[in-house]
Chain A
Amino acid sequence: MIEIKNLHVKIADTDTKILNGVNLTIKPGEVAAIMGPNGSGKSTLSYVLAGKDDYEITEGDILFNGESILEMSPDERAAAGVFLAFQYPLEIPGVPTMNFLKAAMNSQRKARGEAEMTTPEFIKAVKGEASKLGIDMVMLKRALNVGFSGGEKKRAEILQMALLAPKFCVMDETDSGLDIDALKVVSEGVNALRSPERSFLVITHYQRLLDHIVPDTVHVLYKGKIIKSGGKELALELEENGYADIIGEAA
């Protein structure tokens, strides 16, 4: 599904290197977790996958179903099936959430050469997914994320993911700012979307999220490199001993 090959990234127009040769392959249907201490490059990796232009790729490649996506704009990547659930979803005043959802869904359909959704089809789809996530339709009439609580914002991200039905989902610290109940709802939302055709990259600081979204593989990112990979038991090991042991091993 996704192959990250020897990826070197620096912040555009500076000499600040963030990623120093990341190698990672995620198979169709796989849920891969990336863990790592603060400043290891986790969020940068998520932004680079989504195509944010604040970064410059100096070496390496990202292949999505065998094709490089480096030259694709964020919207082209989204239409191809890449989705980033933001750590801090942005508040956009004046844009009603429903209008945004419709614009996003129809833009992607248009880019793929599919027919646009009619309004009744669209509303039906939103109602269905929103009720599963416990989102009130009244909330969706409000401006996108404006005045939403932390939990509401993350739920809105999962709603977008469900409606856009991407092939590859990157979840950047989806657990941050969530209480236990909200974490459960969000995780159930993600688990419902797991399928043999859809892969996930779950970025998190804590093991807690991985109790709810159980990963197939776990990778430790440190100083812009993956220094250890393993199964879900690696996350438990980290929870127990912290990063120090693994960092020591790698050094």
Chain B
Amino acid sequence: MNIQTKITHTAAEESLLAALAQSEREEAAAVLEHIEDRGLPTRRVEAWHYTDLRTLMRNFPKAPKAIDSEFSSEGLSEMAELVDGFNIGFSNTSHVQGIVGDLPDGVAGVVGDGPITANPVPVKDDYIGQMNSALCEQGAILTVEPGKSIDTPIILAHTCAGETASVLRHKVSVGENASATFIERHHSSTIANHQNVVSNLFLEKGAKVVWVIDQELGVETTRLGQLNIVLGEEADLTILVLNAGGKLVRQEIHVAVNGENSNVAIKGVNLIGEGSHIDVTTTLAHNVPNTTATELFRNVVPAGGKGVFQGQIRVAQIAQKTDAQMACNTLLLTDESDFSAKPELEIFADDVVCAHGATVTDIDDNHLFYLRARGISERDARALLVKAFVEEVFEELDNEALGKALIARIENWLDLNA
């Protein structure tokens, strides 16, 4: 017999359960039952070991119905442009900017609240995806026609303005031999709000995509984000991540490498300021032979920041000749900075090249002395060294303007926080 003691729900769980009870999505019932019985994941759930959601998630604000919420693009206008592009903007749960009929030639799209796309990549202990399927209001569905090369970046801009939850799900399909750049931007006011955005991305044969996640949330915002990708044959994917804000942030990236001769490169910078908990969790599943992947994260943690990196590379038995490299390098600026890294390799094939490296350092005193001996003040010398450490990640991107814009954002953050 299985006796289960009922758990006492936290305030966040209570309000989450209330929201789930009101949801019209058919997926809500199972999620409600699960959270009612077990609560949000704790450190005992392996995938959430370093981000104990039950302890860290303090509240879950009520999601306004899209139709009730104020039709406002106020929050969006506060977001400084990253690069020029076609903006599709969401304020809380409302679609407020960018008429999809005006999308660049070769891209078709709708924004709607119809049935949701299931997560195409299996994820263990998938709380983000589950909560999203149960509560999602709407999202963009975009398709790039085969063979089209879209020069204008398509920007999915998100902002949370009030004390509210914003739950959105996007689906993007890029046809055979098409190419495009998508930028997910996340911004919020300094009020405690909650954002859960899931994007499902499909790359057909020979498709080439750059996907950027640019996060500059307010100090009280919780963000649970997930990017799920299926890579077809000869597809080429670059993911660029810049996390520079938020109170509790978990960004998951799950890639199913399902086509031979495909390549994925993930590059990211996490700037983890005081009071921030930023978790990047990635899984790369190499399911076919002859694929390559590189993953590089650089993290800067001033006093009072806490960062997490979990990177998993799985190589199936048939996935011979996989070449996968992963590195996570962290610069702790003080003794009160905290970072946990968990690289994981799970390899069932015998003819592969896989490597991972995780380093944690502080600023090298000898480097600092060398710069100071040339007349550069201690403050400036430190700033120069920190910048050098992270900016390397976004140097030499194919899209030079994008690289410059990301580096400018890093410099701006470092000037204010490090």
Q: A-side interface residues toward B, CB under 8 Å? A: 50-53, 73-75, 77-79, 83-84, 86, 89-90, 92-95, 99-100, 103-105, 107-108, 111, 143, 160, 164
Q: A92 contacts B367, CB within 8 Å?
A: yes
Residues of A within 8 A of B387 (CB): 94
Q: B367 contacts A90, CB within 8 Å?
A: yes
A52-B369, A103-B380 in contact; A93/B392 too (CB < 8 A)?
A: yes
Per the bound structure, the CA–CA distance linking A178 and B246 in Å amounts to: 52
New A-B contacts (14) at CB < 8 Å, excluding given A92-B371, A107-B374: A75-B375, A77-B373, A78-B373, A78-B374, A89-B370, A90-B367, A95-B384, A95-B388, A100-B384, A104-B376, A107-B376, A160-B374, A164-B374, A164-B375
Q: Is B391 an interface residue (CB 8 A)?
A: yes
Smallest CB gap from A94: residue in B: B388
| The 7 residue pairs across chains A and B that have the minimum distance between CB atoms | A94-B388, A78-B375, A108-B375, A104-B374, A74-B372, A90-B370, A95-B388
Q: What 0/1 readout, one digit per residue, does chain B (354-390) give for beta carbons within 8 Å of chain A?
A: 0000000000001101111111111011001101110
Smallest CB gap from A112: residue in B: B375
Smallest CB gap from A81: residue in B: B375
7 A-B interface contacts by CB (under 8 A) = A51-B373, A74-B369, A78-B373, A93-B389, A95-B388, A108-B374, A160-B374
Residues of A within 8 A of B381 (CB): 75
Q: A86 contacts B388, CB within 8 Å?
A: no
Residues of B within 8 A of A74 (CB): 369, 372-373
Smallest CB gap from A88: residue in B: B366
Residues of A within 8 A of B384 (CB): 95, 99-100, 103
Give the Cβ gap from B80 to chain A, nearest Cβ, in Å.
Answer: 24
Smallest CB gap from B383: residue in A: A103
Q: A92 contacts B374, CB within 8 Å?
A: no
Residues of B within 8 A of A103 (CB): 371, 376, 380, 384
Q: A94 contacts B392, CB within 8 Å?
A: yes
A52-B369, A100-B371 in contact; A92/B385 too (CB < 8 A)?
A: yes
Residues of A within 8 A of B385 (CB): 92, 95
**A-B pair number, CB within 8 angstroms:** 76
Residues of A within 8 A of B377 (CB): 75, 107, 111
Smallest CB gap from B368: residue in A: A74
Residues of B within 8 A of A95 (CB): 384-385, 388
Residues of B within 8 A of A92 (CB): 367, 370-371, 385, 388
Q: B376 contacts A75, CB within 8 Å?
A: yes
Per the bound structure, the CA–CA distance linking A78 and B381 in Å amounts to: 14
Give the Cβ gap from B395 to chain A, nearest Cβ, in Å.
Answer: 8
Q: A50 contacts B375, CB within 8 Å?
A: no
Per the bound structure, the CA–CA distance linking A90 and B368 in Å amounts to: 10
Per the bound structure, the CA–CA distance linking A99 and B385 in Å amounts to: 12
Give the Cβ gap from A126 to chain B, nearest Cβ, in Å.
Answer: 14
Within 8 A of A (CB), among B31-68: none
Per the bound structure, the CA–CA distance linking A99 and B391 in Å amounts to: 14
Give the Cβ gap from A140 to chain B, nearest Cβ, in Å.
Answer: 15
Smallest CB gap from B392: residue in A: A94
Q: A93 contacts B376, CB within 8 Å?
A: no
Q: A75 contacts B372, CB within 8 Å?
A: yes
Give the Cβ gap from B373 to chain A, nearest Cβ, in Å.
Answer: 5
A92-B385, A94-B388 in contact; A73/B371 too (CB < 8 A)?
A: no
Give the Cβ gap from A76 to chain B, nearest Cβ, in Å.
Answer: 9
Smallest CB gap from B387: residue in A: A94
Smallest CB gap from A93: residue in B: B388
Tell me which of A73, A78, A90, A143 contacts B378 (CB under 8 A).
A73
- Which of A75, A93, A108 has the most chain B CB atoms inside 10 A of its CB? A75
Q: A78 contacts B388, CB within 8 Å?
A: no
Per the bound structure, the CA–CA distance linking A111 and B375 in Å amounts to: 8
